[in-house]
Amino acid sequence: MADYLVGCDVGTSGTKAVVMDDQGRVLGSHYIEYPLLTPRPGWAEHDPEWYWNAVADTIGESIRQSAVDPKEIRGVSVSALSPACILVDRSLRPLQNGHIWMDRRGTAQTAWVKEHIGEDRVFAVSGNPTDPYYATIKLMWERDNRPDLYRQAYKLQTAADYPVMKLTGQAVTDYSNASLIGIAFDIVARKWDTALLDELGLDPDKFPDPRPCDEVIGQVTAEAAQRTGLARGTPVVAGTVDCNAAWVAGGAVDPGRASLVMGTAGVLGIVHDEPRFTKNMITIVHTARSRTSYTTLAAIVCCGALTRYFRDTFGQYEKQFASAMGLDAYEVLGLEAAAVPPGSDGLIVLPYFMGERTPIWDPLARGVLFGLSLAHTRGHYLRAMMEGAAYALLHNFELIRESGIRIDLPLVLGEGGARSPLWRQIIADVLNVPVVYDPSSKGAPVGNAVAAGVGTGVFPNYDVVKAWSRPGDPMLPDPGRHARYMEYYAIFRRLYDKVQGEYGALAEATGFR
């Protein structure tokens, strides 16, 4: 009998699944898009059932395309956007829309933790900052604002945990997602610090049991088998975070490997084994060797989210035209941005449309267009958004380099935004590093399939992906463009400092705080 594996990634914009054989060949793949709910400024939500329906339907269609006998599928793994706060009752039914990583509503709870617990203690335990980003803060918001719902809650689940729960009936989590539930997750011991949870006023029993990313935690139930097309009893591993899975797919499993995932968010990660953590950066347990390894990462809230916002707000015609012609709307719009010179003729974007994570950790920050004139066109707007995301990544990259973490180059780029040659060149020029892109990579779902294979014994370890990664030739930075970008970058850095004080006033005026 042949060995096949299923990987599925639940993203902020949509879900994708693959069926893969033990040689890394993708035999079936399907993607489903869904919306983002933003009912108030700074809020960002999904209906958890969107995740389950998308996971079930993408897996089912991928199996159909592959023509694989479901009984020959050896394992399943799911990754997802992270963190997220989904509360389920004892019948494993969701109690609210989940607030996702982009949601910034927990500002009061964050301030309380900083005052009463202290950022240094949180960092010592979790290797992470204190911010509304983390799911523990989101749970505190639920407790303080919807106490009846909090009392009903049986377990906190992330966006990966929820579909895994629907597949298996087990409400657990994995080490990687637990890292981003954060605050009281002891990232070295890989367990909840129950004393700290008590001090936070949270019930430790509501937190899911953390497991290694590739540990088999259950089997596909009869109900889930009927819904997905998987065979009943198929092993399911614990899962991981989306960027981790994408890095595995790109071969980033060894210390020093550096990868940038250009999805809805922009996430630049460096793999390391030593438990050494950098302040103001994010630390998560890595999927590969999740019992011992880590990833230090920079994470900007809006990367691909900027180009999707631009497409949906200013490119409706191109979106309809591209759909009718079988083209990619981003490629059509990108032609306008490519006609604009580096620096966008002085148009600079602060890409903080939904607040920002690393390194400024400002939930109140918002986007800014600076230098706008009547000479600027739609192409200038789009290119300036791409450049703004690159400037934000450079701010992080400088700090990571200063920390002394080993970074092996070239920088490997992956996910949606990396498909744009223009954006890849902007990243290379702004960061002043060579970059590579593997056009054949299927991204996070393949990384999940590999994790499922390691967990079920199909693969002895994660080194198997090294033979499958086929990045193209490095795209080199241009010294002249880099020098030009550094002039604009200096302005970019000063801009935030100049407007930072007004974000609080804006939040008061809009009722966000």
- Tens of pLDDT along 17-49? 999 999 999 999 999 999 999 998 789 999 999
Helix H or strand E encompassing 322: helix 316-325
- Tens of pLDDT along 183-228? 999 999 999 999 999 999 999 999 999 999 999 999 999 999 999 9
Local confidence band at 131 (pLDDT 50, 70, 90 cut-offs): very high
Residue 327's pLDDT is 76
Judge whether 346 and 371 are in contact, CB under 8 Å: yes
Mean pLDDT on 388-417 = 92
Judge whether 239 and 448 are in contact, CB under 8 Å: yes
Question: What is the C-alpha to C-alpha distance for residues 463 and 47, in angstroms, rounded to an integer?
Answer: 36
Give percent of the chain above pLDDT 70: 99
Mean pLDDT on 459-463 = 96
Residue 398's pLDDT is 94
Q: How many helices (H) and strands (E) does the chain have?
A: 17, 23
Mean pLDDT on 286-303 = 95
Residue 218's pLDDT is 98
Q: Is 230 left (phi over 0), alpha (psi -120 to 50) or beta?
A: beta
Residue 1's pLDDT is 64
Per the CATH hierarchy, to which homologous superfamily does domain 304-437+478-510 belong?
A: ATPase, nucleotide binding domain (3.30.420.40)
Question: What is the C-alpha to C-alpha distance for residues 126 and 77, in angstroms, rounded to an integer?
Answer: 25
Residue 175's pLDDT is 98
Q: Tokens standing for 305?
A: 């989210």
Judge whether 169 and 232 are in contact, CB under 8 Å: no
Please name the amino acid found at residue 405. Answer: I
Residue 349's pLDDT is 98
Q: Would you say the CATH fold of 304-437+478-510 matches that of 4-250+438-467?
A: yes
Local confidence band at 405 (pLDDT 50, 70, 90 cut-offs): confident
Fold topology of 4-250+438-467: Nucleotidyltransferase; domain 5 (3.30.420)
Q: Where are the domains of the chain?
A: 4-250+438-467, 304-437+478-510
Residue 442 has pLDDT above 80, yes or no: no
Closest CA to 210 of 182, 246, 245, 235: 182
Biggest distance spanned by C-alpha atoms of the chain: 66
DSSP 257-271: EEEEEESSSEEEEEE
Look up the pTM and report it.
0.88
Q: Is 268 left (phi over 0), alpha (psi -120 to 50) or beta?
A: beta
Cis peptide before 410 (omega within 30 of 0): yes
Local confidence band at 109 (pLDDT 50, 70, 90 cut-offs): very high
